[in-house]
Structure 1
Amino acid sequence: MAIGSGPISGPTSTAQHPALDETALRAALSGLPDPNVTGGLIRVTGRDGRWTGTAGPSIPSPAAHFRIGSITKIFTSTVVLQLTAEGRLSLNDTVRDLLPGLLPSEYHPITIGQLLSHTSGLQIPVCAKQNVPPREVVESALSCGHPTEPGKVTQYNGINYFIAGLIVEKVTGHSYGDEVHARILRPLHLRDTSVPALDDWSIPAPYTRGAIVQPGSGTVSDSDGLTDVSVQSPYAWAEGGMISNAPDLSRFFTALYRGRLLPPAQQKTLFTLPTGVTGDKQFSYGGLQRTVLPNGTTVWGKSGSYPGYTSGVFATRDLRRVLVYSLNPTGRTPELPYVMRIAEAAF
């Protein structure tokens, strides 16, 4: 199926928005810290108003750095869409043609658009190595399990974006990090956002403290029994390895949704969903997840998680509301109820 044939939502997500409810936003952070989440940060911007709040000892400031996990994927997809705008590749190009020999010859051809929309059919990377170069991550991930036919089912898979990062490097001749910096970070003045190197597990100060109950991988605090994992993180590169903060993420997504980073054709693709696929979640050809909240509001964005970190950026298509949140879960219980409480307060 050719890219660009799927549906695209209109420029507004709901007819009316209630006023920004600062009381509800404060309540979404109330009770923190608790045994399950040591701290939280909320930043809401947009035409409906602005509000920022933090809670808990793990959040030193509203502009603290944190590991953004899979929000990184939207930086990656933006670079890929820019390359399509420049005519240097097409979302209908295949991995087989761009990176010969990376995927086994018996696999069905997989397009770049299928990578970005998580419809590639590639197997979940239960065998993937960590803290090795990206190509080795991909090769190890494919060493067990079998793919399904691409273009049929949405199956969220970080290996798709490791491959996308390799394509960026092959097409440009530059490192993935250099391309992200030149195309996004420098033009938008995102000075608190970075792509760490393979051997760099540091995080700039001030940073939020990720601490989990899993022992043996960091410094254990006698006072809370948690292991600090803030400076120990698997290398996730173009799939989930970036560091940022709430102001930078808000600026990036606002610029992206306003069309500052992509020309009109690729801007449409950013919000275009694949057709004829099944699955519980919907991801666009720009990697954005489309979510309808319980109150009926449609938002687009991306979440990201690492041990000790859960964050996300979601916005209405018309940018009336842009939400950035970051939590520090301990791993004792799922963090989804905390995230939904924030989302329902913000939108």
Structure 2
Amino acid sequence: MRVHRRTTVLALSVALLAAAGPLAAPASAAPAPPSAVRAGTVAGPDAAALRAALAGLPDDDATAALVRVGGDDGRWRGSAGVHDLASGRPADPRARFRAGSTTKVVTAAAVLRLAADGRIDLDAPVQHYLPDLLGPAFRPVTVRQLLNHTSGIPAGDGLGDSFEELYAHRFEQLGPRQVVASAVAKGPEFDPGTRQHYLNINYTVLGLLVEEVTGRPYASAATALVLRPAGMRDTSFPGTDPRIRGPHNHGYQKVQRANGTAEFVDVTEWVPADEAAGGMISTAADLERLLTRLFRGELVPAPQLEEMFTVPADVPGASYSAGLQRFEHEGRVYWLKSGARYGYSTVLAATRDLSRTLVFSVNSTDAKGEGMNPVAQRIALAALR
């Protein structure tokens, strides 16, 4: 299975700045006419640059985008593009979308809340809580090592490697224990704590840990521990439902055909994989609430919150903390999380003191590509200047 490196690519791109049977009938490869950028601002962020970043949507790279920028010097809200290519009507700024790996922020916060309550010991091996999960080939893996991706557990198997394979199985789902069993069968990738390798499997295991400790399904526990306290009323875990309930903009994948033509395949309906690692549906407003309330210490007590701003110092090249990733740009340190599901790319980022915050969702036509989406890059450049 291909290792998903989208989060790392997004983070580094922003820091450097300078997911059997025929495919469903796709929308036309010619995007609908560009829609107007709808925005409102309270002084501060560079409104002109942000409007320019969203201009011309839909295009080959994205069909819609939602942006929220905030901080000490004001805030900016904007949307552009279309709800769907067939109708061409404007994108809904209140749209729900597949949040991908930004789900990990919620999972990390849930684990840290349980740690604050004395129900999880971050220094205890996960084998203490789930004794039959990893097997004898694995050395003790602490909960903290799962949180910061230094566990050494390899990637689990999925339902395919290419878009075509995954699309053919888009209404199927592997259970978390199946995924973990496929990873365990490969043996350890490295000794725990010696390297950092960002992989969904770490948070798949953490989801099982949350279920074991709380005695509740992951979605129920995460809602009680994080979503509800954060006021994330439009955020949910769909389980095996392939639909996005409520207002949403369609997602598309651009597919190159053998004859050289390109078509846009509607990928809006898809059963999410890796619930605790990336299965959440959310909104830009809800992710902004999560970001601000989390960083203010309203969701996780200060001692445990520090884990989200601590990169393991003894691991060469490490940049991930518990649920977030550190990057520096023009002398400012940002903490971010990105996520990608076919048709949807999402980023949340902020300075620790919330002097600058950024949340955006781009309906990327190549959300699993190795490079940063050009629209997403323009947004980041405009928001972080």
TM surpasses 0.5: yes
Question: What does residue range 185-264 of structure 1 map to in structure 2 within 5 Å?
Answer: 185-197=227-239, 199-214=240-255, 225-264=263-302
Structure 1 residue 214: deviation in Å?
Answer: 4.1
Q: Structure 1 residues 102, 346: CA separation in 2 closer, same or farther (over 3 Å shift)?
A: same
Report the equivalent of 2:364.
329
Over residues 236-281 of structure 1, what are the superposed CA-to-partner deviations in whole Å (9 max), with x where a residue is unaligned?
20000000001111011100000001112112222111111123x5
Taking structure 1 as reference, are residues 32 and 80 closer, same or farther at Cα in structure 2, changes over 3 Å only?
A: same
Question: Does the aligned pair in 1 maintain the 2:104–2:278 contact within 8 Å?
Answer: yes
Q: Which amino acid aligns with 1:328?
A: N
Which is further off, 23-32 or 335-344? 335-344
Which residue of 55, 58, 62 corresponds with 1:30? 55
Residue 28 of structure 2: aligned partner: none
* Distance in 2 between residues matched to 1:173 and 1:258, nearest whole Å: 29
Query: Aligned with 1:213: secondary structure?
Result: strand
Moved more, 171-180 or 134-143: 134-143
Superposition deviation, residue 131 in structure 1 = 0.7
Question: How large is the Cα RMSD of the aligned pairs?
Answer: 2.2
SS at match of 2:196: coil
Is 1:61 equivalent to 2:102 in the alignment? Answer: no
Structure-2 separation of matches of 1:205 and 1:172: 29
Corresponding residue SS for 1:225: strand
Moved more, 40-49 or 327-336: 327-336
3-state DSSP class of the match of 1:283?
Answer: coil
Distance 1:90 1:99 in 2: 13
Instruction: Choose which of 147, 172, 184 in structure 1 pairs with 2:214.
Output: 172
State percent identity of aligned pairs: 44
Question: How far apart are 1:92 and its partner, in Å?
Answer: 0.8
Distance in 1, Cα, partners of 2:79 & 2:53: 10
**Structure 2 counterpart of 1:209, which letter?**
H
Instruction: Check the 8 A contact 1:329/1:335 in 2, yes or no.
Output: no
Distance in structure 2 (CA, Å) of the matches to 1:215 and 1:338: 20
Are the structure 2 counterparts of residues 239 and 99 from structure 1 closer, same or farther at C-alpha, using a change threshold of 3 Å?
same
| 3-state secondary structure, aligned to 2:181 | helix
Q: Is the 8 A contact 2:207 2:276 kept in 1?
A: yes
* 1:42–1:326 Cα contact (<8 Å) kept: yes
- What code does the residue aligned with 1:20 have? P
Q: Is the 8 A contact 2:147 2:323 kept in 1?
A: yes
Per-residue deviation, residues 152-178 of structure 1 (Å, max 9, x unmatched)? 211110000000010001111111111
Shift of 1:24: 1.2
Letter in 1 for 2:364: P
SS of the residue aligned with 2:345?
A: strand
Poorly superposed stretches of 4+, deviation over 4 Å: none
Report the alpha carbon displacement of residue 338 of structure 1 after superposing the two structures with TM: 3.0
Q: Which residue of 1 aligns with 2:226?
A: 184
Deviations 1:272-311, CA, capped at 9 Å, x for gaps:
11111123x5111x22111112x33211121000111110
1:92 alignment partner, one of 103, 123, 127: 123
Paired residues of 1:107 and 1:147 also in contact (CA < 8 A) = no
CA distance in 2 between counterparts of 1:336 and 1:292 reads: 20
Cα distance in 2 for residues equivalent to 1:164 and 1:25: 37
Deviation at 1:144, TM superposition (A): 3.4
Which of 63, 68, 76 in structure 2 is aligned with 1:51? 76
Q: 1:148 & 1:338 partners in 2: Cα distance? A: 37
Give the structure-2-normalised TM-score: 0.78
> Normalising by structure 1, what TM-score?
0.86
Match for residue 341 of structure 1? 378
Helix, strand or coil: the match of 2:78? strand
| Unaligned residue ranges in structure 2 (runs of 5+) | 1-42, 84-89, 160-171
The amino acid of 1:343's aligned partner reads A
State how many pairs are aligned.
Answer: 319
2:155 maps to amino acid: I
* 1:72 pairs with one of 95, 103, 115: 103
- The whole-number CA distance in structure 1 between the counterparts of 2:225 and 2:141 is 26
For the residues of structure 2 that align with 1:43 and 1:247, how far apart are their CA atoms?
Answer: 8
Q: Secondary structure at the match of 2:77?
A: strand
The 8 Å contact of residues 311 and 319 in structure 2, kept in 1 or not, is answered as yes
Q: Deviations over 1:46-84 (max 9, x none)?
A: 222111111111472221000000000010000100111
Task: Please say if residues 257 and 319 of structure 1, whose CA atoms lie closer than 8 Å, have aligned partners that are also in contact.
Answer: yes
- Consecutive unaligned residues of structure 1, counting only runs of 5 or more, are 1-17, 217-223
> In structure 1, the residue corresponding to 2:194 is in which secondary structure?
coil
Cα distance between partner residues in 2 of 1:119 and 1:278: 11
Contact 1:66–1:207 (8 Å) recurs in 2: yes
Distance between the aligned counterparts of 1:338 and 1:105, measured in 2?
Answer: 47
Match in the other structure for 2:309: 271
